[in-house]
Amino acid sequence: MTRYRNPRGRVGDDAHTVAGAPERARTPARPHGLSPLSRDAIVRAYRRYAPVYDRLFGGILDPGRRALADAVARAAPSKLLEVGVGTGLMLARYPATTAVVGVDLSEAMLARARARAQALPGRAIQLEVMDAEALMFADGEFDCVTVPYVLSVTPDPRRLVAEIRRVCRPGGTILILNHFSGGRFWWLLERAVRPLAGRVGFRSEFLLRTEISRYDWKIEEVKDVNLLGLSKLVSIRNR
């Protein structure tokens, strides 16, 4: 099994101190036609959101998190990785017997997740500042990887997918919760927010066809969640 050690994975609010990080941190990624988002922009945006994130996005995105928790319970993993763990809104919902590792680019968001983890004594929860596009974990280390509301936020979603597939064991479960564009109700808002991706810290236009269906993994279920199908929960078997 390969140990993967990439110093660029260690980032956070002071990303510029990390060897190899500055150039990628400052350069907005414009991967395959998506709106550009740099790591700096993400860290800045989520430093601003951190104090109000739970109030802004806790309730409205919660039905999706509940569906995600149910899917994790069915998979009953021994070891789970959550990428973009944010303020830790999922932590209490994972099975008490599952060892959980959570990573995030934003130290400000993680500080809140740490407080949540402390309120769950007896749980095996490890939280790290780390770039999910350069994970410092071994191949196949996790039975399950969850990606709640992160794939359209990360600078290069295809790099993130390559990394979660690498660290999830073959046959393991990958659960992606995200907004995908093209729905009946949200297109106007998607269009309005599109030029603001760097400022708001997420991309509103993001297609299931180009970002999920393109891989040779096995999509087991796609389920509409949240108000008027705002998001989808995609359950995937890793190959």
Ligand X SMILES: C[S@@+](CC[C@H](N)C(=O)[O-])C[C@H]1O[C@@H](n2cnc3c(N)ncnc32)[C@H](O)[C@@H]1O
Least distance between ligand X and beta carbon 11 (Å):
8
Contact with ligand X (CB under 6 A): which of 35, 46, 176, 235? 46
When asked if residue 133 is in the footprint of ligand X (CB under 6 A), the reply is: yes
Number of residues that bind ligand X (CB under 6 A): 24
Q: According to CB under 6 A, which one of 57, 210, 219, 224 is a site residue for ligand X?
A: 57
Task: Choose, by CB under 6 A, the member of 15, 80, 81, 109 that binds ligand X.
Answer: 109
Q: What is the DSSP letter of 145?
A: E
- Check binding of 180 to ligand X (CB under 6 A): no
| Cα within 13 Å of Cα(27), Cβ side | 9
Taking CA 8 as the corner, what is the angle to CA 4 and CA 35, rounded to the nearest 5 degrees? 115
Strand segments, DSSP code E, in the chain are: 79-83, 99-104, 125-129, 142-148, 168-178, 218-225, 231-237
Question: Per CB under 6 A, which region of 19-27, 71-79, 127-135, 183-191 contacts ligand X?
Answer: 127-135
Enter the tokens of residue 140.
């196949």
d(CA 68, CA 73): 9
Which positions from 3 to 42 touch ligand X by CB under 6 A, shown as an x/- string?
---------------------------------------x
Burial class (CB in 10 A: 0-12, 13-18, 19+), 140: middle
Stretch that binds ligand X, among 78-86, 167-175, 208-216, 227-235 (CB under 6 A): 78-86
233 near ligand X (CB under 6 A): no
The residue within the footprint of ligand X, chosen from 12, 29, 41, 86 (CB under 6 A), is 86
CA angle, 234 then 190 then 181, to 5°: 30
Please give the residues from 139 up to 168 whose contact with ligand X meets the rule CB under 6 A.
148-150, 153-154, 160
CA proximity to 45, closest of 164, 189, 161, 154: 154
Residues that bind ligand X (CB under 6 A): 42, 46, 57, 65, 83-86, 89-90, 103-106, 109, 131-133, 148-150, 153-154, 160
